[in-house]
Amino acid sequence: QVQLVESGGGLVQAGGSLRLSCVASGSIFRINAMAWYRQAPGKQRELVAFITSGGSTNYEDSVKGRFTISRDNAKNTMYLQMNSLKPEDTAVYYCKAHTILQRDYWGQGTQVTVSS
């Protein structure tokens, strides 16, 4: 099994920055890819960015150029650096890990609020 613990959310003004962290523990060697999702009130959860075990990344169009996903395997940690934040980025952000056994694990979520 895999456990995920998120941190780094908070309140920030438009144009500001936040760095989210997700620390994984348990069967770390089984993780193939990790991703950040977000869910705003009244909306479905959406994929923000993902990173594979080989380091390939992909971003949702609205965050491309502003957000950077990274992964430090030595620390079993994934990051989401968020710059130039906009009010529409306000959401609960979730960490997800996908294992080689085709199972998904989720973090508890962390609130990001961007004021105008």
**pLDDT of 82 strictly over 90:** yes
Q: What is the DSSP letter of 102?
A: S
From the list 93, 72, 77, 100, the residue with the least C-alpha distance to 4 is: 77
Q: Which two tokens stand for residue 6?
A: 């998120």
Q: Which residue has the higher pLDDT, 1 or 59?
A: 59
Distance CA(27)–CA(110), nearest Å, equals 23
- Alpha carbons within 13 angstroms on the beta-carbon side of residue 77 total 13
**pLDDT of 51 strictly over 90:** yes
**pLDDT at residue number 31:** 87
**pLDDT at residue number 28:** 83
From the list 105, 102, 114, the residue with the least C-alpha distance to 37 is: 105
Sole residue written with tokens 């977000």: 38
**pLDDT at residue number 22:** 97
Confidence bin at 53 (pLDDT 50/70/90): confident
